[in-house]
Structure 1
Amino acid sequence: MAMRPLMVAAAMGLAALMGAHAPQAQARAYVDVDVRVAPPPPRYERVRVRPGYVWTPGYWRWNGRRHVWIGGSYVVARPGYAYTAPRWVSNGPAWRFHTGRWVRRY
């Protein structure tokens, strides 16, 4: 009878380890938002050079009622990739938001 609690504990430990070592999913999710209100012009942000980092510029985010400014930030540079900034694109009578993303350089 003493073996049963040990077996249960071993099984739970093995299950926890398998979950901890699961590979990351490689799926990409792109969400486009169509808004009938044009975004304001971008705000000026002072940028300083930081070796090993890339500046991701700020952008206007739609919160369901109005545009809200999201300030830019530094992210660690990815060798072989270029960062494409988030942007609003006119799409007929609406505006469509494209999120910022990393694009592989060829």
Structure 2
Amino acid sequence: MRNLTRTFAAVAALGLAAGAATYTPPAAAREVVVIRTAPPAPRFERVPPPRVGYTWAPGYWNWYGGRYVWVTGRWVGVRPGYVYRPPAWRPYRGGYHYEREVWVRDPHWHR
């Protein structure tokens, strides 16, 4: 029984060592795509009545196939302790770059 336990421990250790040796962390740098033309003005969307447990994510312009394409707003489930920040186009190096939607920590939230 002792030999079997030692064998399993040795195989597990080898597996962990092999996994650690082949692990590659994700790239820290991301490619920033700059679009030279400004996005069109946001479209008007009628915001539906509030829904418990959800927040409204407004529509936005996305860059797809070499042109701006409108993405309709939608409901997203809330995350306690976080605030939804919608996607946005920001001026960047003579053009515009797209910042994805994110959930950021709410500094005023306490359990």
Q: Does 1:63 align with 2:64?
A: yes
| Matched position secondary structure for 2:96 | strand
Where does residue 74 of structure 1 map in the other structure?
75
Q: 1:93 to 1:29 in 2, by over 3 A?
A: closer
How many corresponding residue pairs?
Answer: 79
The aligned runs of 1:30-69 (5 Å cut-off) are: 32-47=32-47, 48-69=49-70
Q: How far is 1:93 from its partner?
A: 1.6
- After superposition, give the CA deviation of every residue in 1:61-105 in whole Å (9 maximum; x if it has no partner): 111421000011001111100000100011132101101110011
Q: How far is 1:34 from its partner?
A: 1.2
What is the CA–CA distance in structure 2 between the aligned matches of 1:95 and 1:43, rounded to whole Å?
18
Structure 2-normalised TM-score? 0.64
Q: How far is 1:57 from its partner?
A: 0.9
Work out whether residues 32 and 98 of structure 1, in 8 Å CA contact, stay in contact via their aligned partners in 2. no
Of structures 1 and 2, the one with the larger relative CO (CA 8 A, separation 6+) is: 1
| Matched position secondary structure for 2:84 | strand
Q: 1:85 to 1:94 in 2, by over 3 A?
A: same
In structure 1, list runs of 5 or more residues that go unmatched: 1-27
The RMSD of aligned alpha carbons is 2.1
* Structure 1 stretches of at least 4 aligned residues deviating more than 2 Å after TM superposition: 28-33
The aligned runs of 1:82-93 (5 Å cut-off) are: 82-93=83-94
Q: Give the counterpart letter for 1:45 in structure 2.
A: E
Identical-pair percentage: 46
Q: Give the counterpart letter for 2:80 in structure 1.
A: P
Q: 1:32 to 1:51 in 2, by over 3 A?
A: farther
What is the CA–CA distance in structure 2 between the aligned matches of 1:72 and 1:99, rounded to whole Å?
14
